[in-house]
Chain A
Amino acid sequence: MYPADLRYTKEHEWVRVEGEIGTVGITDHAQKELGDIVYVDLPKVGSAATKGQTFGSVESVKAVSDIYAPISGEIVAINEALATAPEKINEDPHGAAWLVKIKLGAPEEIKQLLSPQDYQKYVEAEAGH
């Protein structure tokens, strides 16, 4: 259900690692919880991301969700398309609606991320409460 090539966090972000670049987005679960996305606030290219700290936010009409960096490093690209079409996050959260690309500052952090199976279990457990 959750793409096998991604790794996940408990704050509902995903990471796709390709060489020294990690592409980051929010998961399908997150976009469902938020509802129609109306705005995305992304950091500037060149700024630093620190694992576990917020680097932006995603807004629906009635709620705001902070986005937490799943890995540390330098922001090398942001998805400009989201500025005019934030709804892409609802449509394709794991693909076209990536948020930022980070040049990995500490590759060992990848090991701490959740596998698709573990993330799936986590989401199901959360829903049960």
Chain B
Amino acid sequence: MSVPLIEVRNLKKYFGNATRPVRAVDDVSFAIQPGETLGLVGESGSGKSTIGRTVLRLIERTDGQVLYRGDDLAGLSGERMRKMRSKLQIIFQDPYASLNPKMRISAILGEALSTHGLHPGRAARDKRIAELLETVGLRAEHASRFPHEFSGGQRQRIGVARALAVEPEFIVADEPLSALDVSIQSQVINLLADLRERLSLTMLFISHDLDVVEYLCDRVVVLYLGKVMEVASTAELFARPLHPYTRALLAASPKPDPTIETVHVPLKGDIPSPVNPPSGCVFRTRCPHAIDVCAQAVPALDTVSAGHQVACVRKELFTMKAAA
């Protein structure tokens, strides 16, 4: 196998004081191959956004490694990391909060270019800005406007243009669709899919919307309380979910079709506090299949078939069923 573009090894991010830390991300590992889109799913508090930000060193990790083409990003000096950022970009969730309201679009996009010394000179810069706006389905004359003059969908396109301005190889898309209406959401999904193909982008796509993840991603990592529960190709995960949490998550997400009968018992209770996570398997307090051993040791992420890994001591429960 080729060298992954991004590899995360035993990543940990604890917030707060050392005696009672908030274990937002606790020993997470995954790799993303060049050209691949990896989905990161989980509910609030599962650590998905923290992983996205830690990967890009927008916040510093507590422990573990993030390798870009085999090199650890943590070792880079401020100056070298800044240069590296032209390869690694992010699209934020809230298109209303992530654009400076006092800057024109030309300045928002131009700042990205000048920071990295790209397209110097006014004429070249303006040409590149016009090109970027057209790439994301806006018009060149939009450059002179302010963010408030755009709708949510258009703002998110500007957020995409800003990420693309520096010609990155890797983009973290942190819930880029959740602030958008359904009809606008599909426009932005198509835009991301087109750009990914045209510019051969590698993506870490963070979302709580399983339908969007199924549509856009090649592989999926399912997180719960800062830990990986299951990893599989998208087709495999949606056809044969093995972890009780993944199964519950899929069952809880209502399909837009009234003829599909949903007879499922929702998971009981809330996500526990990451300050005081349950011993052993973090999901056991809500798991309908939990037994005594689940409280004793953290289950290892075992490979059950090629590319399909599950962290559950009771995985036979469903691997048997799937085989039958």
A and B interact physically: no
* A positions within 8 Å CB-CB of B: none
